[in-house]
């Protein structure tokens, strides 16, 4: 008998002939998370095992695995020979002391001479004989004893399943550029795209001196949380100050946000091309604010010609987004009172239904627009994400 941590994947089962590609990425990501632990990863058929680890490191290993997209669930189990006597002995030892229970058997080795139903009944009977205080409840038990019979002559016995993040292994869906503000939404957008297998770099716009150094540090902290889930991140920062001053001076106040977002998208597209990213990601949710109406999104999209813009939060309400932010650990940082560039020169009545023609008329009022665009892009600042 030895203690092991059983790792199961979920959605990868749906992949066909290219499933091995996804498995290799998942294994690579798991190994990266385990690199600071003294342990072994054994790769089996539909199950991975963490073995030979120190007992005191168990909770930390589980926490690390809990940040890996592609893992469906995790269990701390005992690995035993799969002969019936061994299964019965260790299942009895793993059973609860009181309450209701059931035995759930997975017979991964279909050559095993006892069927799953019969094996569950026999082991359940042995548990009842060893502890008459227990009672069986097959539909809604307080406890479950799982017995997982594998193909290599072993079985895993455990009493708890810890849910994983699910999704696809990061790196399996290409690389994008995440527009990361200091708010609640954009970190969640990055998290949701990482869950679908996308890795990404980060672009942040600041408006120093109208925004503070604390605001920039806040965004770096948000990026560091995202790094736990998606691995390596390159984070770039660009100043929007001069373009905001020009818009404020020369253009209609109501178009301030619309013009700024078009400027941001142009910079984002050029940056994504430079970094060889295949898309732009942002945290917009339809109708949440004036710049996120159908018309505003259409005008914003008009500036990007060479790649898609992904908005994974587009159909979510604010509470759904907050729930994910709390789960992933960014919410408390996002609500720190350091404002981002979108709050600078904020108009009282921003336009909610802009048109492309009217927006282009407003842009033409900025005579040195191309110069401002080039200057901002040429002064991209690479920040270190800890």
- H/E stretch holding 39: none
Mean pLDDT of the chain: 93
- For the segment(s) 2-163, the CATH number from 3.30.2130.30, 3.40.50.10490, 3.40.980.10, 1.10.240.10 is 3.30.2130.30
Q: How many residues does the chain have?
A: 386
pLDDT at 375: 96
Give, as one character, the DSSP assignment of residue 196.
B
The rounded distance, in Å, linking the Cα atoms of 198 and 8 is 21
Q: How high is the pLDDT of residue 348?
A: 82
Confidence band of 378 (pLDDT split at 50, 70, 90): very high
**Cα distance between residue 197 and residue 215, in whole Å:** 29
d(CA 40, CA 4): 10
Q: What is the topology classification, in CATH, of domain 175-383?
A: Rossmann fold (3.40.50)
Q: Tens of pLDDT along 297-343? A: 999 999 999 999 999 999 999 999 999 999 999 999 999 987 777 77
Rounded to a whole number, what is the largest CA-CA distance in the chain? 87
Q: Which own/partner contact pairs does 49-53 have at CB distance under 8 Å and 24+ positions apart? A: 49/4, 49/5, 49/6, 49/7, 49/79, 50/4, 50/5, 50/7, 51/2, 51/4, 51/79, 53/5
CATH 3.30.2130.30 in the chain: give the residue spans. 2-163
Question: Which residue ranges does the chain devote to CATH 3.40.50.620?
Answer: 175-383
Kindly tell me if the per-residue pLDDT of 209 is higher than 90.
no
Global pTM reads: 0.92
Tokens at residue 214, please? 């604390």
Strand ranges (E), the chain: 2-9, 40-43, 47-51, 71-81, 99-107, 134-136, 143-149, 154-158, 162-163, 175-179, 199-206, 235-239, 280-281, 309-310, 381-383
d(CA 322, CA 66): 20
């Amino acid at each position: 008998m030895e203690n092991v941590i059983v790792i199961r994947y979920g959605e990868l089962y749906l992949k066909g002939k290219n499933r091995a590609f996804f498995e290799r990425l998942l294994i690579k990501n798991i190994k990266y998370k385990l690199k600071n632990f003294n342990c072994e990863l054994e790769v089996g058929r539909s199950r991975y095992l963490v073995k030979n680890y120190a007992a005191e490191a168990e909770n930390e290993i589980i926490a690390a695995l809990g940040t890996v997209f592609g893992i469906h669930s995790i269990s701390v189990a005992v690995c035993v020979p799969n002969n019936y006597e061994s299964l019965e002995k260790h299942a009895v030892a793993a059973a609860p002391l009181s309450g209701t229970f059931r035995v759930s058997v997975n017979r991964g080795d279909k050559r095993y001479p006892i069927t799953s139903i019969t094996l569950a009944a026999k082991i359940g009977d042995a548990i009842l004989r060893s502890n008459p205080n227990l009672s069986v409840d097959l539909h809604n038990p307080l406890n479950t004893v799982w017995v997982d019979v594998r193909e290599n002559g072993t079985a895993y016995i455990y009493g708890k399943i810890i849910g994983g993040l699910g999704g696809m292994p990061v790196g399996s869906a290409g690389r994008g550029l995440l527009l990361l503000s200091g708010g609640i939404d954009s970190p969640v957008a990055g998290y949701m795209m990482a869950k679908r297998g996308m890795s990404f770099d980060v672009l942040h716009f600041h408006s120093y001196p109208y925004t503070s150094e604390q605001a920039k540090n806040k965004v770096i902290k948000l990026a560091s949380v995202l790094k736990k889930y998606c691995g390596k991140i390159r984070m770039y920062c660009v100043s929007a100050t001069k373009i905001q001053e020009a818009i404020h001076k020369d253009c209609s106040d109501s178009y301030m946000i619309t013009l700024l977002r078009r400027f941001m998208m142009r910079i984002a597209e050029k940056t994504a091309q430079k970094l060889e990213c295949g898309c732009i990601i942002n945290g917009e949710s339809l109708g949440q604010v004036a710049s996120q109406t159908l018309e505003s999104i259409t005008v914003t999209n008009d500036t990007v010609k060479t790649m898609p813009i992904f908005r994974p939060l587009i159909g979510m309400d604010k509470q759904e987004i907050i729930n994910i932010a709390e789960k992933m650990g960014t919410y408390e940082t996002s609500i720190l009172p350091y404002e981002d560039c979108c709050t600078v020169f904020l108009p009282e009545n921003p336009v909610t239904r802009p048109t492309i023609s009217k927006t282009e008329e407003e842009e033409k009022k900025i005579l040195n627009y191309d110069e401002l665009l080039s200057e901002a892009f040429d002064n991209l600042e690479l920040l270190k994400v800890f």
